[in-house]
Amino acid sequence: MARRARSALPKYVTPARDRYKNVRLRFRKGLFSTYLKSPFPSDQFEEEYQAALRGEKSAQGEIGRARTKAGSISAVVVSYYSSPEFKGTAKSTQQTYRGICETIRRDHGEKPISGLMRKHVKAIIGKMSDRPAAANNYLRMLRILIRHAIDIEMIARDPTVRLKGYSAKTKGFHSWTEAEIAAFEARHPIGTKPRLAMALMLYTGQRRGDAVLLGWKNVSARRIAVRQEKTGTPLAIKMHPSLIEALEMAPEGKTAFLLTSFGKPFTAAGFGNWFRERCDEAGLTHCSSHGLRKAAARRLAEAGNSANQIAAVTGHLSLKEVERYTRAADQEKMADIAVDTMPERSDRNSEIGQQSDIVGQLEE
């Protein structure tokens, strides 16, 4: 039970009682230990957590500010956190951006932003050739920070203009196969929380950050309403019979279907960690919650649905994104369906007509 409770919190963070018997969140990594003072989850908590990962102890709400040098890359990051461009993004996006920004601060925070040249950026990205996806994310975040620095007149030019990252060579998150779905269902039968979690994502095609927010408040008749956190897209999705069956074990009178062992809704990251453990229990160490969204799109594609129909379920705003998600669809199965729709050879129709004439003459 304790292990499940910890999975809702970030790595190295656990609830602990201080000397006054108050329950607080404690960060412990190796010999380094500190209490995190801000409420979880919150932007302030995330800032403290990132500082703790660097082995720093700072006053609440002042993480990074006291050590920020004017005109430095670190100063740009701090300013960006207060910008409408950052605050206007979804919470999940903010968390992702913070993680990369804090890595940039750790590596180059003390350097003056005005001295950042194209050759420096190329050298930084070049050293990450063993991690091409991480390098591209690093470059993308640098571009955002530099555009912000230009907006607030800290620099006059963008050294990343037309600078290319690494070619994408990975397929991203693994899309669950039917055999893997069956293996998970066998390990976690109807009536269990893991099975409910899978059904919510597999039969709605939603991201984990949206799935953890769903509750009875979202259900009306046989539809489930979603407003996607990342894009703000509103969706009304017909509930699949298998989802309705799984929802029979969902708690009544709660704000969400999926709750931690504390009886609270999961955070997206906490849910991801918890679901990762449930996948491991089923022997599916290479599967993840995000892969279920891809599996939902794959299933819809294999059933012959158009890109627009698939997007109506998943909420993708770009049909190009739908195509990327459905690339994992069973090529052989879809090719069979496509071939069966092809007409006969042109002279075959005339042969059939001649045979019909002969049969007609014999009958006369």
pLDDT digits (tens, 9 = 90+) for 258-273: 999 888 889 888 899 9
- Residue 64: the pLDDT is 47
Average pLDDT of the segment spanning 132-149: 93
- Residue 63: the pLDDT is 45
The string of pLDDT tens digits covering residues 61-112 is 444 444 578 899 999 999 999 899 998 888 778 888 988 998 898 889 899 9
Q: Which of 155-159, 261-265, 274-278 has the lowest mean pLDDT?
A: 261-265
196 pLDDT more than 80: yes
Strands (E), the chain: 13-17, 23-29, 32-36, 219-220, 223-227, 234-238
- Which residues have CB under 8 Å from 17's CB, separation 6+? 23, 24
CA atoms of 62 and 66, how far apart (whole Å): 7
pLDDT band for position 57 (50/70/90)? low
Token reading at 345? 């050879």
Enclosing H/E stretch for 321: helix 319-325
Residues of the chain with CATH 1.10.443.10: 178-339
- Residue 62: the pLDDT is 43
169 pLDDT more than 60: no
3-state secondary structure of 206: coil
pLDDT band for position 2 (50/70/90)? very low
- Residue 133: the pLDDT is 84
The string of pLDDT tens digits covering residues 106-135 is 889 899 999 999 999 999 999 988 888 889
Contact 178, 296 (CB under 8 A): no
Model confidence, pTM? 0.60
Residue, of 138 and 40, whose pLDDT is higher: 138
261 backbone φψ class: left, alpha, beta (φ>0; ψ -120 to 50) = alpha
CA atoms of 12 and 81, how far apart (whole Å): 24
CA atoms of 134 and 138, how far apart (whole Å): 6
Residues of the chain with CATH 1.10.150.130: 68-170
- Residue 73: the pLDDT is 93
Mean pLDDT score of the chain: 85
- Residue 354: the pLDDT is 62
Q: What's the fold here for domain 178-339?
A: hpI Integrase; Chain A (1.10.443)
pLDDT band for position 50 (50/70/90)? confident
- Residue 349: the pLDDT is 56
CB atoms within 10 A of CB 279: 23
- Residue written as token pair 């302030």: 44
Q: What's the fold here for domain 68-170?
A: DNA polymerase; domain 1 (1.10.150)
CA atoms of 95 and 46, how far apart (whole Å): 7
3-state secondary structure of 170: coil
53 pLDDT more than 50: yes
Max mean pLDDT range (2-16, 170-184, 284-298): 284-298
